[in-house]
Structure 1
Amino acid sequence: MSEKIMTAKLTEHELSEIRALIEQRSGILFDDSRERFFSQRIREHMAAKRLFHGADLLRLMRSSNVEYDSLVERLLTQETSFFRYPSIFEALEKKVLREMHAKKFWENPRSLRVWSAGCATGEEPYTIAMTICDSLEFAEAWNLHILATDISRQALTQAERGLYPARELTAVNPRQKEAYFSRVGEQFLVRPRIRNLVSFAQMNLAQAVYMGRFDIIFCMNVMIYFTDDRRTALIQRFYEYLEPGGYLFVGHAESVAKAGVKFDTSVYGDCILYQKPIAPHARKATAAAGNSSGGASGEERA
């Protein structure tokens, strides 16, 4: 049920203070292009909390982490679904995972670490897990770990539950739905085989926390909320955290060009791939192994 938006006394100065407080604490920037959205969500929140003055909201935000988080939750709510960006997961399956399989084929044990940064309610990391299980030969013989992080505790609670309405599975094919979900009434529950590959943790990407190295990092449509400086710092951290030859996936409207790091860039379909460079001799070995196993088509160097 929609919340009735009552008349709230909210000045431009108070809106600016709220915006500045969120940027200071969470690194999230709501710039002029999101002014209308930001103002509307603030007023909706004030109506839900029965607050009549912007000063009352500011006081709550400064005195209570729970109240602060509650507002941020409302501002960051976004629609998502499984396989939301088909071209991204096609590139993951047909290019990146084939390459990883060739690169790690003789390792013992074979391992693959993936980070879904800004995972929202879990559809993205579970989609990654399904794609890996569909793509890697003898996936059960690999040490697979997908770390999924988000700033929203509420979103993570839903993600950990792994229960979704049918409308979010429209892009999941019948075989995947049968293999990776069980029906619970009118909803679908992610099966343990997939759930056990993913671990969830609350994290603010504006704060540097080292968690080891990753083969693949997803950060889709998150950096649009950051200032240029914070975006640059985050991309540099992603570069540092990636293994040589590892890949970074970002949203279609996002770019790493101004971050001052030297990713190798290629195009697969309509997906831009950013790869941390590998040593020349390792590149040749990986390419040879990939060719011997069939390779991947559709790639262009940018």
Structure 2
Amino acid sequence: MDPLVDYRITIVFLAFLLDVALGDPTWLYHPVRVIGHVIDLLERPARRLSLIGLKASGAVAVLFLTAAVYTIISMIIGLDGIGIILAVWLAYSGLALKCLLDEGERVRRFLQAGDVEGARQQLGYLVSRDTSQMEESDIRRSLAETLSENFSDGFVAPFFYLVLFGPAAQWAYKAVNTFDSMWGYRNERFRELGWFAARLDDVLNYVPARLSVLLLMAARLRFGMKLWRDIASDARTMGSPNAGWPMAACAYLIGSRMGGPTVYDGVVKDKPVLGSGGDWGDAQLETLRVTLLRAGWIALGCALLLLTFFI
């Protein structure tokens, strides 16, 4: 439990405001980069533990680093005098809403200027798929997909754990999520070593992914059981138990479909189609940006009400 529980409303409020105002400042060495560097260092010793099986050794690595992150952050925010300042900074650093929206805007600006090649390259920094041959419509659809998906695991999930359990739990989640982004690939190198990281990330994102749908519905002022059932039905067609929820929600709420043929490592993968609308244009991407930002503010309002009256 967060030792600064008496200041939790202040921490949550300031963390969100700093995120939407500043994003990730490039002049600071981001804690995620530290975690990523440690994960790189852990791969070799984890493979040396292969006598217990790569899945088991991968699990040991994930649990070891996650526990270490939780312990270290708990100690840092518990320091007398500067603990609350460090808690605000760590909580803010663990949120990525403005960074996500800014990255999306960079791709849009290339498209608005007619620079398709620049848009392909910029999008390539955000997605694992092959962008080199994408047409404008594919770029816009791919951008909408990554913005929607990352709204959940880049903002809603870390905000969820921050609000309920404090910065230490928020960063424990970030450690697992970073493991998944680095080891969670279903290829020969990481299929077994990253198995536990991927499964634990699925568990930790289960509730936030579904909460993100409610936030997005609130942001668009559209509710109803039929809408929820349509979103849920499409979300369940995805290979991931969580990624399809915010993606399907945005597809239905904005009226532009997602999914379809997508190229990964030169191989075309026919992804499930989410929603029943048309293609993504610049106006739809702007609506998506506004919707995600508005949903973030709604999340803050819900968090402050929860912390004030119920926790």
Which TM-score band applies after superposition, normalised by the shorter structure?
under 0.3
More strand per residue: 1 or 2?
A: 1
Q: Larger radius of gyration, structure 1 or 2? A: 1
Question: TM-score scaled to structure 2, two decimals?
Answer: 0.24
More helix per residue: 1 or 2?
A: 2
Question: TM-score scaled to structure 1, two decimals?
Answer: 0.24
Higher relative contact order (CA 8 A, sep 6+): 2
